[in-house]
Amino acid sequence: MNKKERAAYVLHRLEQLYPETPIPLDHSDPYTLLIAVLLSAQCTDARVNTVTPALFQLANNPHDMSRVPVEKVREIIRPCGLSPRKSAAIVELSRLLVENHNGEVPQDFAALEELPGVGHKTASVVMAQAFGVPAFPVDTHIHRLAKRWKLSSGKSVEQTEADLKKLFPREKWNKLHLQIIFAGREYCSARGCNGKTCMLCQEIFAPKA
């Protein structure tokens, strides 16, 4: 298969494997999703989901969170790692949402990326999953599989994102980025496949009859 054929196959196969794509991070609105995505940096979604109930019981909106002492937030989110930086970002971004956005999460990439602790990937996840705006957040799973499946040779997540956006229809981005993540976790993990051993890699690179 050439690259376009591989992309078409990946799209078709992942739709078969994952027709439904539930959002992995537990949340109730754009704000709680934003906080959960921020916490997921260098942390598993499963771990985040064990931490956020206590955090959101303490404060589940920017108005309340902006008044919580950073130390209290840090203690709750410690299991997620990087707690000093993340706790400071959570309290400060909450204050800025109240001051600059009437307590609402902005539906705008640039405005989101201006918030503390919010990079392009986090903004893309929020835009895609909270607001349905086409985006292709590239995490380590997607970056790895795009290279493994020879869909991108990008050395950075930014280049991989650009390559994948060119390969796949815009209306498929939001669902596909989750499908690739699910496939990476279930079949084509970093240690569980060398690019040849998992079911998906075998199918994608099977010699033509």
> Mind telling me the catalytic residues?
121, 139
For residue 160 the two structure tokens come to 């991989």
Smallest CA-to-CA distance from 156 within 120, 186, 109 is with 120
- Hunting for tokens 């999953």 — which residue is that? 129
CA 13: distance to chain centroid? 21
For residue 139 the two structure tokens come to 């995490």
CA distance 51 to 59: 13
Q: Is the dihedral of CA 166, 167, 169, 170 positive or negative?
A: negative
CA distance 208 to 203: 10
Helix (H, G, I), strand (E, B) or coil at 66: coil
For residue 61 the two structure tokens come to 């909106």
CA distance 73 to 113: 22
CA distance 180 to 184: 6
Q: In the chain, at which residue ranges do the beta strands (DSSP E only) sit?
A: none
